Amino acid sequence: MAKATTPTVTTMKVTTATRDRLRALGSESDTLEDIVVAALDAYEAQQFWAAAETAHRAETAEQRSERKRIEAEVDDWMDDIR
């Protein structure tokens, strides 16, 4: 049986105002760890979608046509599987 390991932790110095802002983002049952992880997840998701939107705007008509052709081909494959 695998032995459970305790995660490594660290201390991060933030101002009281920043700590209070973080605390205001969560519920009473949330730890600051929970709140920071949720904030990082939201930030990373926002960054992902911003990059996707930038790529979408940069897509040429030829690239879009090729992507649509490939998508249709994959859809056909999936229909054949069902």
23 within 8 A of 32, measured Cβ to Cβ: yes
Sequence spans of domains, the chain: 17-81
d(CA 44, CA 51): 11
32 within 8 A of 19, measured Cβ to Cβ: yes
With cut-offs at 50, 70 and 90, classify the pLDDT of residue 69: very high
Cα 2 to Cα 5, 6, 7, 9: the distances in Å are: 9, 13, 15, 21
d(CA 35, CA 19): 10
Give me the pLDDT at residue 4, please.
Answer: 81
Query: Is the pTM for the entire model greater than 0.75?
Result: no
